[in-house]
Amino acid sequence: MPSAFLHPFAKPSRETFTTITHGKGALVWDDTGHEMIDAMASLWYCNIGHGRGDMADAIAAQVRAVAAYSCFDPFTNAPADHLAEKIADLAPIDDARVFFGSSGSEAIDTAMKLARLAHVRNGQPQRRLIISRRRGYHGTNYGGTSAQGLPLNKEGYGTLLDDVVQVPSDDVEALSVLMSERSDEVAAVLTEPLQGAAGVYPPGDGYLAETRRLCDQHGALLIFDEVITGFGRLGTWFAAEHYDVTPDMITFAKGVTSGYLPLGGVIVGRAVSDALESDPDFMLRHGYTYSGHPTSCAAALKNIEILEQHKLLKAAVGMGYRLERGLRAIADDGGIDHVRGEVAVFGVGLREDQNAMEIRDRMIGRGVITRAIGTDTLTYCPPLVTTDAQVDRIVDVLAEAVA
């Protein structure tokens, strides 16, 4: 019989799972004592590594003070205020404000709502259309599910949101045509700068810059979904810096706390904030019970401090270079079909005669965790603290598993 725990993104009929008991740095262990290199940073998020006592201490200190309290009017707390200021300082968006939730899915739904709301406040309520890209993964709440460019993730949930449509992932002409046809209806374009959960697909040359230009031309907002790429994954605080394109809003989660506690949010630029602030009597009727959760915010502050003090953004570049070089060597030898990715996140495209799930299981048995996407892709997103020896082991185990 299956256990009482209904697992996410798993077959409900499955009866056995691998029980992870503890971790340290880039390593985790299961309940049999089997040691594994966590080449996925759990699920794209544990940038600072597992089992850090300094994170535990920061979290415990906040719990002893006040673990949680509502930030609905008229309340706030110091960790939320300080974290908002810190993230606004790090963000490539000038004079930003920060909204907090508990996940990337909440962040996406928030950004979609804020985009439509900003146009309403600016006297253009007809601007409801939100355009996303095929292969995009934007969480699993109803807004994000509607914006998904992964058809299987949308099946069985009935009618999704109106006026949310997808265009081909890398076809800027298709985006241009749609925006021209519905120019006065477009609220926002929502995109991952680098598409992650679909199997790691970097943008084509100039794609993001042209998307920015089209948004400016048609009066639309540009939203970057940086739930995976935020907080160091591409060697910069945000992918917007890496690609030198500034959006109007950035969604984040995962790496903001390295997963030590749930936290997500939206960095909001002036194009949205000005609309919300224009009437002093306007109330933003949107928020979550845990928006500005003080313990989660304290964890994020400590996480950012660790990223800064240990120069982990720079480490991402070196670690990623070594990983990419190893993966491409396997491709050059014919062991896999090709490699996709940038800096410290990669997808391995397999040959037609290979199966990703089978190779994943072989690698786990040999002590390396990777993620299988469909049958033809394996993904790699190691903690930024992964050592050279551990990177080499990831590569060696992949080579063994595909041999």
Q: Which residues of 359-390 are buried (b: 16+ CB within 10 A; e: fewer)?
A: bbebbbeeebbbbbbeebbbbbbbbbbbbeeb
Q: Which residues contact 293 (CB under 8 A, 6 or more apart)?
A: 68, 80, 100, 102, 261, 263
The first and second tokens of residue 23, run together, are 């971790």
In the chain, list all ranges with CATH 3.90.1150.10.
Answer: 20-52+311-402
End-to-end CA distance of the chain: 36
In the chain, list all ranges with CATH 3.40.640.10.
Answer: 56-309
- Whether the Cβ atoms of residue 165 and residue 131 lie closer than 8 Å to each other: yes
Helices (DSSP H) in 340-386: which residue ranges?
Answer: 356-365
pLDDT digits (tens, 9 = 90+) for 1-36: 899 999 999 999 999 999 999 999 999 999 999 999
| Geometric angle at alpha carbon 199, from 197 and 203, rounded to 5° | 90
Q: How far is CA 314 from CA 165, 309, 384, in A?
A: 37, 11, 9
Q: What is the DSSP pairing of strand 345-349 with strand 377-380?
A: antiparallel
pLDDT digits (tens, 9 = 90+) for 299-323: 999 999 999 999 999 999 999 999 9
Mean pLDDT of the region 157-172: 96
pLDDT at 79: 98
Mean pLDDT of the region 99-108: 98
CA separation for the pair 96, 87 (Å, rounded)? 9
- Whether the Cβ atoms of residue 209 and residue 245 lie closer than 8 Å to each other: yes
pLDDT at 112: 98
pLDDT at 35: 98
For the beta carbon of residue 314, count every other beta carbon within 10 angstroms: 12
pLDDT at 76: 98
For the beta carbon of residue 56, count every other beta carbon within 10 angstroms: 13
0.95 exceeded by pTM: yes
- Whether the Cβ atoms of residue 257 and residue 81 lie closer than 8 Å to each other: no
One-letter amino acid identity for 46? C
- Which 3 state secondary structure label does DSSP give 124? coil
- The one-character DSSP state at 10 is S
CA separation for the pair 168, 175 (Å, rounded)? 8
pLDDT at 169: 96
Contacts 24+ apart (CB under 8 A), 337-341: 340/199, 340/200, 340/201, 340/202, 341/194, 341/200, 341/202, 341/380
Place of tokens 């006026």: 163
For the chain, what is the radius of gyration of the CA atoms?
A: 21
- The one-character DSSP state at 203 is P
CA separation for the pair 339, 322 (Å, rounded)? 13
- Whether the Cβ atoms of residue 36 and residue 28 lie closer than 8 Å to each other: yes
| Geometric angle at alpha carbon 151, from 150 and 157, rounded to 5° | 115
Q: What is the mean pLDDT of the chain?
A: 98
CA separation for the pair 352, 376 (Å, rounded)? 7
pLDDT digits (tens, 9 = 90+) for 209-265: 999 999 999 999 999 999 999 999 999 999 999 999 999 999 999 999 999 999 999
Q: What is the architecture, at CATH level 2, of domain 20-52+311-402? A: Alpha-Beta Complex (3.90)
CA separation for the pair 166, 355 (Å, rounded)? 28
CA separation for the pair 54, 124 (Å, rounded)? 49
pLDDT digits (tens, 9 = 90+) for 253-298: 999 999 999 999 999 999 999 999 999 999 999 999 999 999 999 9
CATH 1.10.274.10 is held by the domain 56-309:
no
Closest CA to 386 of 22, 39, 20, 30: 39
Mean pLDDT of the region 100-127: 98
pLDDT at 358: 98
